[in-house]
Structure 1
Amino acid sequence: MYERGFFRPPQAWVGDVIPWQEDGRFHLFYLHESRRTPKIGMPWHRVVTDDLVTFTETGTALASGGPDADDFNVYTGSVVVADGVHHLFYTGQNPDRRGADGLPLQLVLHATSTDGMRTWQRHPAHTFGATAGYETADWRDPFVFRDEAAGLWRMLITARHADGPERRRGVIAQCVSHDLRTWEPAEAFWDPRRYIAHECPEVFEWNGWWYLVYSEFSESFTTRYRVSRSLHGPWTVPADDSLDGRAYYAAKSAARGDRRFFFGWIASREGGVDDGAWQWAGTLSVLEAEQNPDGTLRFHPPVELAESFDRGVAAVASGAVLSAPDGYADLVVAETAPATFRVDAVFDIAAETTEFGLLLRASDDGDEGYVLRVEPRRNRLVFDRWPRLRTGGEQWQVSGDVPFAVELERAVTLEAGPHRLEVVVDGDLCVATVDGAVTLSTRLYDRTTGGIRAFVGEGEVSVVALEVSTRETDGGASTARHDDLLVTSSS
């Protein structure tokens, strides 16, 4: 994989990211998942980036405390600075240490750095566990921030009530401190009584709006946000409250100037195959948030990623029309695509069109490949593929009752007229964005080669512009002319 704009350490995976921006540089602490058996203890590692495209690994930031320590596993937390000292708050867990509920105990721990985050001094005396009313086995992901209006520090903690329906005990607990050493329990910060837990919480203020971001630990496994005019709520639910789909998780943010970036991971699949179960941890991926006038957010990869693609492979001039009022038509954009490429397409959708989109790594006849399907009638973007999972040797023995990869669906408003579909493919990673606002990330494992096609089903689209680009170092791609494109249809 020619990995720019994404990051995965050699022979390991990126877990939850703890971003910190200082002097224009992003310091991205992350849970370094080796997937080794037996377990060796989870450490924090750190990568740094100035341009959001190239990432430099600096190695272990906070090592496992060892097999006998509270922090055998160093899990998610946050970083703040006070009086020139960096403070790191994190989750400690040791599977051999049990809470009162009989499950592996989770604790909040504290470390400080006086040398610019190069080394950290642990402070075991500052360790504390769940306060009254919460499960001892779920007390993690401390997010610390300064509340200047109240003159104190607040800590948000992923927690669960000690009683209530098993799948609806999730709560964001809160503690407060005046010195970053002694913490006292406070009223729960957010208590919707929904889902198993609300992981990796954070809050921030941006241009007069407050945002609460969390990763929903449920059957959905996605990062969501809420918005308010006040730190103390009430928190409202945007019409589209998610950052991405099922494959993008545990995103937390950092700002540089008036730009805000979210750093999450695209999950890998077990066995490195399309039908493998989603796994915990994967590859670091960055999304940028932009504000709408009503305070809601739109998400897309940063422009720096698009600008890292500098060489045209194929371009479709304006004017190509795909029309199939009661059928299907497609257009060959590139017969063979490189391993890493970007597609930037603008389609003008006729009213009442059922679907259109792009085929990626498609077979020569376009019958097999990955599908990014935009469905105006249903106002959604979905990820699909053919062939789907085969359940037997007969023609009908295919998972045809599955309309698409059901966890990979994003709602998007699609009125008649022009819409932009941008796609970045880098090895087995795929990130698609509609109108610079709605993003869907996933993996492409089974098919490693093939072409690119545009298509329409039951309707008409005009290809206003379509360009495929790669990076100069990728090589091996040829440039196709608009005159060489082939349009096929059936009805």
Structure 2
Amino acid sequence: MKKFLLPGILCVLSAIAYGQLGVQYDPTIQATKNLQYFKPKGDLFVGDCIPFSKDGTYYYYWLLDSAHHKSLNGLGGHQWVLSTTRDLKNWKQYPIVLGIDEPWEKSICTGSVVFYKNTYYAFYATRLINSEGKVNEQLSYATSADGIHFQKQQPNPFYTSAPGYSKREFRDPKVFVDEKTGEFHLFVSSWQQNTVMQNAGGCLVHLTSKDLKTWNVLQPVLTGQSSVPECPDYFLWNGWYYLVYSHDSNTDYVKSRSPYGPWIEPPYQALNESWANVVKTASFKSGRRIAAAWVPSRKDNLDDNDEIFGGNSIFREVMQLPDGTLTTRFPAEMIPVTAPAMPFKIEAALNATNAGKDAVQVNAPNGVGSASIKDIPAKCRITLEITPQGPTEEYGLYLRSDDKADIGYRLNFSANNAMVELGNTNIKAVSGLSKTIKVDIILNDDIIDVCIDNRRCIVNRMPEQKGSVVWLYAKHGAVQFKSIKINPIVDNN
């Protein structure tokens, strides 16, 4: 989990009464039908996610955030909450499963879960202030018979620091168990001290233990990072090992045929969406993998301001190509429920001609061509096919715009740059943009979520513009927009 600190936190905090230790959370009032874009009710937010699965149940553990990481003097005050599903449509909500129980626990940070010999093990970092008034992160774990009711184990924390690594940066343990040897493995986010290149100390420390008491420090599984590689994920899928980690909440991965590398950089980073933070995955039925992340809030709720901790949940289905490269798409079960497609009229504005009731042809070799559709609902799903007919500089849509197209958010496709932009964010190395693509757009209040060809996704939070016009446009080229459908979203929670 990324550090979000406020000035003055390095003082010793006074004791806090038990009733004030953690934020209150009521699971009975939370959504149960679809957790795509979910935010808990009240002044509460979703933070880092810890997905896990067993016997067909998807366990969605997530950090309960209050006040955007400002709780407990900026140390977070986070606690683990749980939501579960067996079909990705219907969910059960549970009370806090790992909470703040002692005054010294300033945050129950990100971690991971494993099931071994009839026991669920939840490993996590506890953020605390040591006797010198400095912030430390130390490792803790809890056990459970059902994955819901956890008991913290003693000593707590069980591991305080590894020689040669930062005590301040020591968090987010990813756990797995070697079934043959019974050995527990932890990959821990940290900073390696006394490195050859002082600006490349970010690493994942590798700890092992057979009794959860004596821990061995092996060679780090990842080194040479410019910042601490946070919230690691690690899994084996169809003969490929994957190591996933985040920098400033942006998620990358590497792959290998061997458990600990050598790691191979993929041709593109499908998990890396700037506004889908700290992506982690879990297996699901029929060999599927479902990733969970969170869409951060914007400071002061302004489009161009930076992200702040905590926001809404977001899910992706992860797919695997024959060479091990990962792609992403909307999980079909989690696409919001919609009403029947609404009628609309395409108004050709400039260098454009109607090509049917749900299509328009744009021919603009010398500039820009455009057409518009009015009265678009604030919450809807828009699907369409786009076919460039030769080279173009760019093409796309303006969302939440007006009659003059002087406001709104540009969804821009550039085949030359292999890039897709959505407002003030982008994804890179997107192939196939010179051919027909299918585009799926979810407008969900201030969240705009887009899937391209069921293989790449991009999301953004843009709260300011609220226009009801969509513009279709192309620049320096000919493009056809067809099979356009607009379905209002039905709130079924």
Give the Å deviation of 1:119: 3.8
Give the Å deviation of 1:239: 1.4
Query: 2:78 corresponds to which letter in structure 1?
Result: M
2:124 maps to what in 1?
90
Distance in structure 2 (CA, Å) of the matches to 1:264 and 1:436: 18
Query: Any conservation in 2 of the 1:65–1:72 contact (CA below 8 Å)?
Result: no
1:38-187 alignment, distance < 5 Å: 39=73, 41-67=77-103, 69=104, 71-94=105-128, 96-97=129-130, 103-124=134-155, 127-148=158-179, 151-164=182-195, 165-187=197-219
Distance in structure 2 (CA, Å) of the matches to 1:85 and 1:52: 24
Query: 1:189 corresponds to which letter in structure 2?
Result: V
Give the Å deviation of 1:327: 1.4
Instruction: Check if 1:33 corresponds to 2:65.
Output: yes
CA deviation map 1:12-39 (0-9, x unaligned): 1111111121232222111111015554
Give the Å deviation of 1:126: 6.1
Query: 1:106 corresponds to which letter in structure 2?
Result: E
Instruction: Check if 1:308 corresponds to 2:348.
Output: no
Instruction: Check if 1:423 corresponds to 2:441.
Output: yes
Distance in structure 2 (CA, Å) of the matches to 1:453 and 1:283: 27
> Alignment partner of 2:266: what SS?
coil
CA RMSD across the alignment? 2.3
Q: Unaligned regions of 5+ residues in structure 1, if any? A: 385-404, 475-491
Instruction: Check if 1:352 corresponds to 2:391.
Output: yes
Go from structure 1 to structure 2 and tell me whether the alpha carbon gap of 1:332 and 1:225 turns closer, same or farther (over 3 Å shift).
Answer: same
Query: Any conservation in 2 of the 1:244–1:439 contact (CA below 8 Å)?
Result: no
Normalization by structure 2: what TM-score? 0.84
Go from structure 1 to structure 2 and tell me whether the alpha carbon gap of 1:227 and 1:310 turns closer, same or farther (over 3 Å shift).
Answer: farther
Go from structure 1 to structure 2 and tell me whether the alpha carbon gap of 1:119 and 1:149 turns closer, same or farther (over 3 Å shift).
Answer: closer
Query: 1:57 corresponds to which letter in structure 2?
Result: Q
Distance in structure 2 (CA, Å) of the matches to 1:253 and 1:415: 28
Go from structure 1 to structure 2 and tell me whether the alpha carbon gap of 1:151 and 1:60 turns closer, same or farther (over 3 Å shift).
Answer: closer
> Alignment partner of 1:368: what SS?
coil
> Alignment partner of 2:334: what SS?
helix
Query: Any conservation in 2 of the 1:12–1:32 contact (CA below 8 Å)?
Result: yes
Query: 1:414 corresponds to which letter in structure 2?
Result: G
Distance in structure 1 (CA, Å) of the matches to 2:225 and 2:107: 27
Moved more, 255-264 or 145-154: 145-154
Distance in structure 2 (CA, Å) of the matches to 1:211 and 1:115: 27
Query: Any conservation in 2 of the 1:98–1:104 contact (CA below 8 Å)?
Result: no
Query: Any conservation in 1 of the 2:251–2:272 contact (CA below 8 Å)?
Result: yes
Give the Å deviation of 1:183: 2.3
Choose which of 421, 426, 439 in structure 1 pairs with 2:457. 439
Go from structure 1 to structure 2 and tell me whether the alpha carbon gap of 1:50 and 1:138 turns closer, same or farther (over 3 Å shift).
Answer: same
Instruction: Check if 1:234 corresponds to 2:267.
Output: no
Instruction: Check if 1:327 corresponds to 2:367.
Output: yes
Instruction: Give percent identity, aligned residues only.
Output: 26
CA deviation map 1:300-333 (0-9, x unaligned): 1111133733421247756531111111122223
Moved more, 37-46 or 246-255: 37-46
CA deviation map 1:173-201 (0-9, x unaligned): 1111223443221121112x122110011
Distance in structure 1 (CA, Å) of the matches to 2:145 and 2:130: 31
Query: 2:463 corresponds to which letter in structure 1?
Result: Y
Choose which of 253, 271, 294 in structure 1 pairs with 2:281. 253
Distance in structure 2 (CA, Å) of the matches to 1:160 and 1:4: 34
Query: Any conservation in 2 of the 1:24–1:50 contact (CA below 8 Å)?
Result: yes
2:295 maps to what in 1?
266
Query: Any conservation in 2 of the 1:311–1:471 contact (CA below 8 Å)?
Result: no
Go from structure 1 to structure 2 and tell me whether the alpha carbon gap of 1:341 and 1:125 turns closer, same or farther (over 3 Å shift).
Answer: closer
Distance in structure 1 (CA, Å) of the matches to 2:305 and 2:359: 41
Give the Å deviation of 1:245: 2.1
Go from structure 1 to structure 2 and tell me whether the alpha carbon gap of 1:162 and 1:58 turns closer, same or farther (over 3 Å shift).
Answer: same
CA deviation map 1:353-401 (0-9, x unaligned): 11111111111122321111011121110123xxxxxxxxxxxxxxxxx
> Alignment partner of 1:197: what SS?
coil
Query: Any conservation in 1 of the 2:138–2:157 contact (CA below 8 Å)?
Result: no
Query: 2:251 corresponds to which letter in structure 1?
Result: T
Distance in structure 2 (CA, Å) of the matches to 1:311 and 1:348: 25
CA deviation map 1:398-455 (0-9, x unaligned): xxxxxxx2x4343311353211121112111111122211211110200124222221
Query: 2:65 corresponds to which letter in structure 1?
Result: E
Query: 1:425 corresponds to which letter in structure 2?
Result: L
CA deviation map 1:190-220 (0-9, x unaligned): 12x1221100112111111111111123xxx
Normalization by structure 1: what TM-score? 0.85
1:402 maps to what in 2?
none
CA deviation map 1:238-257 (0-9, x unaligned): 11124132111111111113
> Alignment partner of 2:333: what SS?
helix
Distance in structure 2 (CA, Å) of the matches to 1:367 and 1:50: 45
Distance in structure 1 (CA, Å) of the matches to 2:99 and 2:289: 29
Distance in structure 2 (CA, Å) of the matches to 1:149 and 1:240: 34
Query: 1:471 corresponds to which letter in structure 2?
Result: I
Give the Å deviation of 1:123: 2.4
Query: Any conservation in 2 of the 1:209–1:227 contact (CA below 8 Å)?
Result: yes
1:341 maps to what in 2?
380
Distance in structure 2 (CA, Å) of the matches to 1:357 and 1:269: 25
